[in-house]
Structure 1
Amino acid sequence: MRERSAFAIIRFMKTKGSRILAVRQKLQLTQTAFADMLGGVTRGAVGNWERDQGIKEENLELISERTGVSYEWLATGRGDMDPSQNVAPIPRPSSLVRIPDLNLFGSLGGGGLLEVISGVDNGMPTDPDQLRGYWTFPEYMVSAFRNGRGVYAWEVRGDSMEPTLAGGSVVFVDTEQNQLPPDDIYALDAGDGLVVKRLRLVPRTPHIDVISDNNERYPTDRLLRDEVRVYGRIIGWFQWRK
């Protein structure tokens, strides 16, 4: 019986998931190591792909870019995994970190609704319905925050934090920094849903001031510390200038 090469066998794999598995096995990487090599991808996502679940075009483009494997082969099975039969990671000029942009909204006034972040794997939500996309940064920009682990982005609405934050801004929240002090801007729930406010401890008391920077329209609320749930500190934001 005529022996077929490994690449001849790989060429005829029927599903995208089986072809992704073949690439990982060719590189002799675990799912975790493969996810790390791709950057900003979870081990759980790789496992789902290999079961032929949740594979998007951008995932195939990323695998092709990072490994040198033919995109056409990954997407359709046509052609060879790699014309040179030399599958190896392409060196990257710099590492990139992806910050999940959550599909929820925080209010700068009152009444924002919080959806619980569930199904987190390696710091990334695994439920696609919770995501609007990702923000991508060079690793050096987020290295002070554990390379982005536990940092999430979401949109804020309202005018109570103007001029610091305008409605429509996207805030980046470090959920690992959810203990007070220091006095700063936080994502929190004081009984009216998810909001973004400035918090200030009242010394030698059990109280905390919840402050709107637009204090001409929104007075400061003084609450018991136990009445305020802090989700994380605002470590940055993005907004367009008009």
Structure 2
Amino acid sequence: MSPPRPRKRKLMDEQIKLMRERGERLRQAAQSIGITHAAKAAGVPYTTLRDYMNGSEMKLSAVASLARVCGVTLDWLAYGVGETPLSQSPSRPALQRGGHQIVIPWLDDREEGLRVGKGWLETTLTRPTIAALRLTDVTGDAMAPTLLHGDIVMIDTASTQAQGGALYALKVDETVMLRRLDLRLGGGIRVLADNDRYPPQDLSAEDIQSLRVVGEVVWFGGLPRG
């Protein structure tokens, strides 16, 4: 058997090097918000994320989702193009509390919140009320295809005034329900699901008094679409 051609071996070595460098960038990005949280928010199994960080080949859809939830650019994560994000710089501890990192708590007061970069919040959300942000899970298919079962939703609990077409978290008994609220001419509100199987509900001005709006949905993340 003839030995492998040197050029082919060189190309393989370069590809392995690039994959390892990509994995290291992914590790830095994921550590900035917590690796477990990064996997859940991006809809990537933890074991798969671990393999990616160790240099395994990555799906582009997964890389794009991970870049989004970690608050880094796709170009930087996939190809190393551009400057290292400030929160990932070696001179800035990735898990630093305070100035560059914010922990967003869950609406149901679970022990662990989601750690995100402050810079990512400020560039992703147009008008964030950071202290009022809370997280919840999507259950069921009422808001499909916009929100899928298992997605993570970020809610601004300071924004409770209904505006046409916006997504809101509503508290019904002890259950959190995600719906669109549309203002009706002459008063009242129409409560809408994105899934056509769920008919709209019209609330009169009197009914609105008993409607508890938890807050407006300002971000969501989950499995890569398509």
Q: TM-score scaled by structure 1?
A: 0.46
- Which of these two proteins has the greater Rg computed from alpha carbons? 1
Q: TM-score scaled by structure 2?
A: 0.50
